[in-house]
């Protein structure tokens, strides 16, 4: 989920999953059990990248899709396959409020989503060129951290099983660029903008078994912003 608050974009996407301990080669993850079976642990490097690097890729995906087909604005799940590529399938949230989506995911894809997250930088109104003043990485990181501190709720479940200790999945991104297309969400100008950083609570699920799965997640930040999503997935 994402919102705009003055010069900020806010994204909450609650997530779900199951396992914290996972031995990660650079290709296919294999789960270990340590409380959340099926969830790749945040210290791992799934498919050769850290959680922080994957969080940056999620933002680049989410904001690169035109408003007309953007999965963040999708109320049914019809656009969930937009822009998907590679071994990890990204799940979108909303700009606040709730959504229920139904979509099909190819077999063998890991699933990534944030329970609660925040992006700050040149692309999202906090510094030039979309905002005023110069971009300072340290200041951007401090602001993103403050936005994600002390959430009121982090909640997620997979197939009715609640995930535990979601605060342990907090992740900071490296600096990354964002490229807006023509017809970008909120009428943002097309082009590539940097620096940007993200802070938040991210979960990556190891590939699900073939069949149907329900993912439910909800997040509330310390200012009371709330978003909730249910995904009815078919893996095939």
What is the residue-averaged pLDDT of the chain?
86
Least confident segment among 27-36, 49-58, 185-194: 27-36
Nearest Cα neighbor of 37 from 159, 119, 145, 175 is 159
> Considering its fold, how many domains does the chain have in total?
1
Digit-coded pLDDT (tens) for 67-113: 999 999 999 999 999 999 999 999 998 888 899 999 999 999 999 99
Residue 178 has pLDDT above 80, yes or no: yes
In the prediction, which pLDDT does 95 show?
83
Largest separation between any pair of C-alpha atoms in the chain: 50
Q: 125 lies in which domain range?
A: 3-235
In the prediction, which pLDDT does 8 show?
40
Instruction: Round to whole Å and give the CA distance between 208 and 197.
Output: 29
In the prediction, which pLDDT does 94 show?
82
In the prediction, which pLDDT does 86 show?
96
Instruction: Round to whole Å and give the CA distance between 53 and 27.
Output: 16
Digit-coded pLDDT (tens) for 104-159: 999 999 999 989 999 999 999 889 998 989 999 999 999 999 999 999 999 999 99
Instruction: Round to whole Å and give the CA distance between 184 and 42.
Output: 31
Question: pTM score, two decimals?
Answer: 0.85
């Amino acid at each position: 989920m994402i919102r705009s608050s003055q010069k900020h974009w806010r994204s909450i996407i609650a997530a779900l999953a199951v396992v914290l301990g996972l031995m990660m080669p650079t290709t296919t993850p294999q789960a270990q059990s340590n409380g959340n079976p099926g969830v790749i642990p945040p210290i791992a490097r799934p498919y050769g990248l850290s959680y922080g690097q994957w969080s940056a890729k999620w933002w680049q995906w989410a904001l690169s899709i035109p408003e007309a087909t953007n999965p963040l604005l999708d109320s049914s799940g019809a656009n969930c396959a937009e822009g998907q590529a590679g071994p990890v399938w990204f799940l979108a949230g909303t700009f606040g409020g709730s959504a229920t989506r139904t979509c099909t995911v190819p077999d063998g894809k890991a699933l990534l989503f944030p329970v609660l997250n925040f992006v700050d930088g040149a692309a999202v109104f906090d510094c030039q060129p979309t905002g005023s003043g110069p971009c300072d990485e340290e200041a951007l990181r401090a602001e993103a951290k403050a936005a994600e501190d002390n959430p009121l709720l982090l909640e997620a479940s997979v197939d009715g099983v609640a995930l535990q200790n979601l605060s342990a999945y907090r992740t900071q991104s490296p600096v990354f660029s964002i490229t807006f297309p023509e017809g970008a969400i909120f009428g943002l100008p097309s082009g590539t903008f940097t620096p940007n950083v993200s802070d938040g609570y991210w979960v990556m699920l190891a590939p699900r078994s073939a069949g149907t799965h329900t993912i439910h997640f909800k997040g509330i930040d310390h200012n009371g912003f709330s978003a909730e999503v249910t995904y009815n997935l078919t893996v095939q």
